Amino acid sequence: MPRLVLIDSGLNPRHPHVAGLKRVEWGDVGTGSPIDVLGHGTCVAAAIVEHVSDLELLSIRIFDTSLACPTGRVSDALRAALSWKPDVVNLSFGTTSLKAAAELEGGVTSLLDAGIRVVAPAFANGLPAYPGQQRGVDGVVANPSLPRGAIDLVGEGDHVLWSASPYPRRLQGLEVHRNLRGESLATAAVSAAILNGRLPALEHAAR
């Protein structure tokens, strides 16, 4: 059974889209509770579980009331993820700060050296984002023209990225444009495909 660490805003275990998970473990880094109050982590988890229902999931909450937190909190979450020995670590966020990227590089490298796939957006607000741009990471870009579940490659040479739809699972009675969408959902789609064994490591990511 594949193992996933989701570093995000936590998880709402009562949501019907994630209620069927066979094994879920919880953690938080500096938030005081593992329960999702933003809905972002639950939405990302639902997008993954839609395609990988037979899954062990560790949800680490780093976001509290907004999708922002200190860099040190992310570093702590990366260390916690490494100790759980997952197949994939999903980070549906990134930083455009080179200083923050340098602070996170060691934690991400430790995961990659352990053979763990790290999946993260390659851009944020149109700017290169880390760790999605870090060598060895499965960087993701959103492509609204792709159908949900389809994964493509973009770029060339040493800069090849995965491309996926930015849209979430549909919720009954909620129009798609009113739900969460963007790079975080594209990243979730790529994580799901990796967990299903559909996506080999990118050549430029070989270490």
The pLDDT score that the predictor gives to residue 6 is 97
The maximal CA–CA distance of the chain, rounded, in angstroms, is 46
- Quick one: CA dihedral 21, 27, 32, 36, positive or negative? negative
| Cα–Cα dist 142/66, whole Å | 22
Whether the per-residue pLDDT at 137 is higher than 60: the answer is yes
Residue 195, classed as helix, strand or coil, is helix
Domain boundaries, the chain: 3-205
The string of pLDDT tens digits covering residues 187-202 is 999 999 999 988 877 6
Give, as one character, the DSSP assignment of residue 204.
Answer: G
Q: Grade residue 25 by pLDDT with cuts at 50, 70 and 90.
A: confident
The CATH code of domain 3-205 reads 3.40.50.200
What does each C-alpha distance from 193 to 31, 45, 72, 146, 188 come to in angstroms? 30, 13, 29, 14, 9
Q: What is the average pLDDT score of the chain?
A: 88
- Which region among 44-48, 76-80, 157-161 has the lowest average model confidence (pLDDT)? 157-161
